Each structure stands twice: as structure tokens, then as C-alpha cells.
Amino acid sequence: MAQRKRAVRSRAAAASARAGASTPLRWLAWLLGSVLAGVVAMQVYFFLQIAAWQVIDPGPTSFMRAERWRLCGWNVWSCRIERQWVPYGEISRNLKRAVIASEDADFVNHPGYDFDAMLDAWERNKKRGHIVRGGSTITQQLAKNLFLSPEQHYLRKGQELLITWMLEFWLDKQRIYEIYLNSVEWGEGVFGAQAAARHYFKTSAGRLSVGQAARLAAALPAPKCFDKKQYCAHVRVNFRAKAGIIARRMGSATLPD
């Protein structure tokens, strides 16, 4: 009898030990499952939100919210950034041509990615040991501005590529370009073509001249430096020379009209 009781206790102790050993594994599986579910839910959110932009205009982007917080802190309700949405047809063709000539000459033809530019950026980044160039198209830039942060790392780049696919899946090129021109940063707290035209030239986005449009397009790699010298410490862009190059290229730019 006593021997049987000892055997039962031994089996119970062994079962308890196995259960205790498996508890961390269960917690790890639960944690990994929760993270995966969160990632999938975020992708579904992005996918459905972009689908809605076929008929409604996007609100403030991730970059806008980050900039407003940087400039205003907790005073976000009374401290505003400059931005006014204007329809695609009310934006100067000069600006449309200038930005494509500067940022993405093959915009209307590629599927959202320029693989040659990405490979070139990969080689340059590998030589430097960190990300210095992204090889991004206009669609990729828009994906980053809408949802992501300015941080440079490969995990963020992977998410950018997935959002780029979503944008190209749901929206035509003209709609993508319309959202881009109304969302891109053009200075300290300045976002979109209309705000940029008023901030720099006291005019509207529809009245920009060739020279004005070329200057705005030249600003895009470093818009804060173009706006204020305090941001130029690590910037090596000759805006005047670049604007001249863009102006000469504008005639060959193909628009998604």
C-alpha cells in the first residue's frame, strides 16, 4: 500500500515538473502569437484605410503628427502646421513636372518600386555600413510619410515596401501623386503644395511658375534646410544648381494625367 502511494506521489511530482517546465514555453508561444496577431491587424488597418482613400482624402500623416509634436509639444491644439488640401487639377503642371523630374522620372511606368535604384542604394549602404540612401520612388516616399517614421532601418524599409504595394493595388497613379503632392514636407511645419506655394512665394499651388516649381522640387531631399539655415549642418545640397537641372528636365517629365 505504502509502495503504491509512493508511486502515485512520484508520478504526480513528475507531472507537476513537466507542467512547470512547459509553462515558460506556453507563455513564449502566447507572446509570439500576440505579436503576430498585432502585426497582421496593423496590415489589415493599413489595407482598409488605403482602400477608403479612393473616395476620401487622407487626414494628417505620421510625419505631420510627429512634426507638430516636435514643434508644439503638448500644445498641439493651438499650435498648427501649414497644410491645405487642393485637388490634383488645381496644382500647377509646372510643379507636377518638376517633382517627377527631380524625384522619380519613371513614376508612371513602374509598379511602385524602382529595383535598379534599390540595388544601387543597397550597394552604397553596404559600403557605408548603414542606411544612407533608400532608392525610394514617389510611392515609397508616400508610404513612409503616411504611416511610418523617418528612422532608417531595414525593418521599417520592409514595412514601407508592403504599404507601397497596397497603395499601388488600390489607387491609380494620379491619385497616388495627388496625395503625395498634398502630403510631402516642404519646410518646418510646411506640408503640401498649397502651403509651400504660400509660404515661399505668396501664391497658390496652381500659379507656380517654372522657376518656382523647380526650386520647390529641389527642396524635397532636405526641406527643412531649404526653409531655415539652422537645419543645414549635415546637408550637402546646392539648391540653386539642383533647381537649374530640374528646370531643364521638366519638359521630358511624363505626368499621370
pLDDT tens digits, one per residue of 161-183? 999 999 999 999 999 999 999 99
Cα gap 20→72, rounded to integer Å:
51
- Residue 224 and residue 132 share a domain: yes
In a domain, 44, yes or no: yes
Same domain (yes/no): 141, 15: no
184 and 191 in contact (C-beta within 8 Å)?
A: yes
Check residue 133 and give its pLDDT.
52
**Has residue 128 got a pLDDT over 60?**
no
Overall domain count for the chain: 2
Same domain, 12 and 133: no
Burial of 7 (0-12, 13-18, 19+ CB in 10 A): exposed
Burial 126-155 (b: 16+ CB within 10 A, else e): eeeeebeebbbbbbbbbbbbbbbeeeeeee
Provide the grid cell at 224.
527643412
> Is the model's pLDDT at 12 over the cut of 80?
no
Q: Are residues 208 and 231 in the same domain?
A: yes
Q: Is residue 87 part of a domain?
A: yes
Residue 121 predicted with pLDDT over 80: no
Best mean pLDDT range from 63-72, 150-159, 194-203: 194-203
Give 213's Cβ-side CA count (13 Å radius).
26
For residues 234-252, give the mean pLDDT.
96
The answer to whether residues 38 and 78 belong to one domain is no
What CATH number did the domain enclosing 97 receive?
A: 1.10.3810.10
C-alpha cell at 30: 502566447
Residue labelled with grid coordinates 503640401: 192
Shared-domain flag, residues 125 and 199? yes
Based on the domain organization, do 110 and 31 belong to the same domain?
no
Q: For residue 257, is it within any domain?
A: no
Alpha-carbon distances, residue 132 vs 11, 118, 220, 221 (angstroms): 61, 12, 16, 12
Q: pTM score, two decimals?
A: 0.85
Work out whether the CA dihedral 17, 18, 24, 27 comes out positive or negative: negative
Same domain for 45 and 77, yes or no, is no
Q: Report the distance separating Cα 238 and Cα 111, nearest Å.
A: 31
Please identify which residue in the block is written with the cell numbers 508561444.
29
Instruction: Specify the length of the chain in residues.
Output: 257
Q: Are residues 11 and 116 in the same domain?
A: no
Domain identity same for 47 and 62:
no
Residue 1 domain boundaries: 1-52
**Which three-class secondary structure state does DSSP give residue 196?**
helix
pLDDT class of 250 with cuts at 50, 70, 90: very high
Same domain, yes or no: 46 and 63: no
H or E element at residue 186: strand 185-187
Q: How far apart are alpha carbons 230 and 56 in whole angstroms? A: 37
From 52, 74, 94, give the residue that closes a domain: 52
Looking at the structure, tell me whether residues 40 and 88 fall in a common domain. no
210 with 242: CB under 8 angstroms? no
| Secondary structure of residue 34 in the 3-state scheme | helix
Mean pLDDT, the chain, integer: 87
Q: Which three cell numbers stand for residue 215?
A: 526650386
What digits encode the pLDDT tens for the residues 45-98? 999 999 999 999 999 999 999 999 999 888 867 777 899 999 999 999 999 999
